Structure 1
Amino acid sequence: MASTLYVKDINKKLLIRALRDQRQATIRELADITKLTIVTVKSLLNELIDQGKVQEGESVPSNGGRPSQQYVFNSQSQLGLVIFGKELEGLDSLYIRIIDLYGQVLDSQIESCTYIDSEYINNVIGKMFEKFPQIGAISLGLPGIEYEGQIVSLDYKGLVGTPLIQQLQERYNIPVVIENDVNAAVMGRGQCFEAAQSEIYVYFASNSGPGAGIRWNGQLIKGAKNSAGEVGWLPFGIKWGAELVNNKPAFVKAAALLLVSLVVLYDPESLVVYGEFIDDEYLDEIGTECKTLLSQRSFPSLTRVDDFSSDYEQGLITITLEKLFN
């Protein structure tokens, strides 16, 4: 019995993904795509209609026979809630997004706050559930480290030591993910057509240490305790921060040492750099310094991005969709 239910669940996921990709299709078309029998497709579609995940569409002409019923993927049967923290005009702010099953943003809000703790996060999420009760997964993007459901390191001190995932899962009974901001950004960057499969994304902050996200063969590398990429901890004797940023020659040397170390350790296809103060000329100087430390043949492509926030948000949307479909 258990094995029958397992197979049925796999077939249902296969069917709903096929219909999501097609947006609308007939039973025959879905059977051809999924390689399931027409009887199986029809039975599963009836269940998905009862669950609100699929809707009946219009009838379309068939080859000389009776018109065929189309079935439409309901992209709003479940919604995702994406929340990420970012500084806006000197104030900590929460960016709040409601997405459908295609990752399209249906609702967008920004809340400025003076202190972020679990009570504040719970209140924000509670308000969103009142407005969108069909939320089926939550992703939180935060500048820190989550390990075994607990916040162990974070810029928002009010959340450190909080079992936030457990609290939210017990309250809402849906999947909850907390992801580091640069990890989310490297996954968001991975959705770009030009992105390499194995890539390291380095964020150089103006007033604190750098962070990195590592995507290897399309998969995020987080390490045993989710702290992979905390490159500011490397014992180089570098004092990261505003003073170093304001000393361009010293920063170029420090950044090059960090990037070359990552290349030697991971051998990525591509390095991507973000920093508000880093322009093309600045990047060229960093690249030249890198190639004095490591041969040009061994060094990967080095590029910069202008919009960290877009990568960050897209990464969280991607993570939320994975939870909604799995």
Structure 2
Amino acid sequence: MNPITNNTMRVKKMNKELVRQALKTMKQGTKSMLAQATGLSVATCGNILNELIDTGELLELDMEESSGGRPARLYRYNVNFSYIACIIIRAGVKTHSLTYTVANLAGEAIKEGYQETDRMEPDMIEKLVDQLIGEFPQIRAVGIGVPGAVNQGIINVSDIKELINVPLEASIRDKHGVEVIMDNDMNLTVYGFYQKQGYDEEKSVAVVTFIEGCFPGAGMMVDGHILRGSTRFAGEIAFLPFGMSHEEQFRQLHERTTFYSLAGRAVSSLIAIMNPETIALTGSLVEPADVELIRQECLKYIPEMHMPQLMLLENPHENYMYGLITMTLESLSYSLQLIEKRR
């Protein structure tokens, strides 16, 4: 393709995304309001609005109330133009589970469900995607949260052995032609937690989980960005050099007399490496009284002036699904990085 033509198409895509995002934020607006919000001309906004109306992505409303001049047409983004499907895979002691949500472009749930199984095979996940897309053909993106490390769309470390080295992301994308993201459960949980805080400026926070029957994990946001690492291994704190085997680590984590000490050493390592403002502790192994015990353990290694706020996160599942929905919706948006460079 001619470089000039290619560049023109890219600019059109970015302009269209600017109008989309502005209208989503404004809820409804006129051409003039959109031009002011995006910095584009009224004529450009008008052309984009016409294109989006033709595809059904925008809805035409009544004329706005006149303040003396000619009334202008109002437009609203059609949040039901496309859907996303979000699936959370959980590892349990005796059974595994799938929790799913089909949501519209505003993140509002259209359908929710739950399945349990003794053995989590990749086919079970693919069949669920088939079912959801069959029921809602307007699904344009699928987000999957997994208990393990994901690199290039493939799980390489997980408490569910059947999912390791399975190209699940590529398989779903090739079969259905939809955008697919797959990420670690803790990355998604900390992302949801972070987004819900509504910080005015970029912060560093972490969520650390200690779940019965599993090894611990952490999700980290550093200066407003998820810390994944070069091979997406960041946060796998079970691999810290505790000076013991994984079997002994697992035993100590599940013993009340040794849990807080081992947890405190893991949290201390995070504090020393990322210096976060807040660390949220969660998981079935964490009891409310453990927060102070872990804090005291951390103070054996970390000066008090550098201690973050330690808190108990009682409803991590809400943050997890919120993070997955938010990230999956973002996967549908055209990147605006080039726009920022252009301005």
| Structural mapping, 1:120-131, within 5 Å | 120-131=124-135
Letter in 1 for 2:282: Y
Distance across 1 between alignment mates of 2:283 and 2:93: 17
Length, aligned pairs only: 325
Distance across 2 between alignment mates of 1:69 and 1:86: 48
Q: Which of 254, 265, 276 in structure 1 is aligned with 2:284?
A: 276
Distance across 2 between alignment mates of 1:132 and 1:5: 30
2:37 counterpart of 1:22: no
Distance across 2 between alignment mates of 1:115 and 1:89: 11
Q: Is the 8 A contact 1:95 1:110 kept in 2?
A: yes
Distance across 2 between alignment mates of 1:101 and 1:254: 42
Matching residue of 1:304:
312
Matching residue of 2:222:
216
Closer, same or farther: CA 289–194 of 1 in aligned 2, 3 Å: farther
Q: Which of 248, 267, 270 in structure 2 is aligned with 1:262?
A: 270
Local SS of the residue matching 1:64 = coil
Closer, same or farther: CA 209–158 of 1 in aligned 2, 3 Å: closer
- Displacement of 1:124 in angstroms is 0.7
2:190 counterpart of 1:181: no
Which one is further off, 223-232 or 193-202? 193-202
- Displacement of 1:117 in angstroms is 2.1
- Displacement of 1:91 in angstroms is 2.6
Distance across 2 between alignment mates of 1:189 and 1:258: 20
Letter in 2 for 1:309: H
Letter in 1 for 2:254: V
Distance across 1 between alignment mates of 2:92 and 2:151: 27
- 1:96-146: CA deviation from partner (whole Å, max 9, x where unpaired): 101111111111011122322222211111110111111111110110122
2:204 counterpart of 1:198: yes
- Displacement of 1:190 in angstroms is 0.7
Closer, same or farther: CA 9–194 of 1 in aligned 2, 3 Å: closer
- Displacement of 1:259 in angstroms is 1.1
- Give unpaired runs (5+ residues) of structure 1: none
- Displacement of 1:81 in angstroms is 0.6
Q: Is the 8 A contact 2:159 2:214 kept in 1?
A: no
Matching residue of 1:241:
250
Distance across 2 between alignment mates of 1:118 and 1:89: 19
Distance across 2 between alignment mates of 1:194 and 1:76: 25
Q: Is the 8 A contact 2:83 2:105 kept in 1?
A: yes
Q: Is the 8 A contact 1:117 1:158 kept in 2?
A: yes
Distance across 2 between alignment mates of 1:164 and 1:131: 21
- TM-score computed with the length of structure 2 as normaliser: 0.90
Closer, same or farther: CA 211–127 of 1 in aligned 2, 3 Å: same
- 1:41-77: CA deviation from partner (whole Å, max 9, x where unpaired): 1110000111211011111222323332111100011
Q: Is the 8 A contact 1:57 1:71 kept in 2?
A: yes
Which one is further off, 30-39 or 189-198? 189-198
Closer, same or farther: CA 285–89 of 1 in aligned 2, 3 Å: closer
- Displacement of 1:170 in angstroms is 0.7
Distance across 2 between alignment mates of 1:172 and 1:202: 34
Local SS of the residue matching 2:328 = helix
Identity of aligned pairs, percent?
A: 30
Runs of 4+, deviation exceeding 4 Å: 87-90
- TM-score computed with the length of structure 1 as normaliser: 0.94
- Displacement of 1:84 in angstroms is 0.4
Matching residue of 2:330:
322
Distance across 2 between alignment mates of 1:16 and 1:152: 37
Which one is further off, 64-73 or 168-177? 64-73
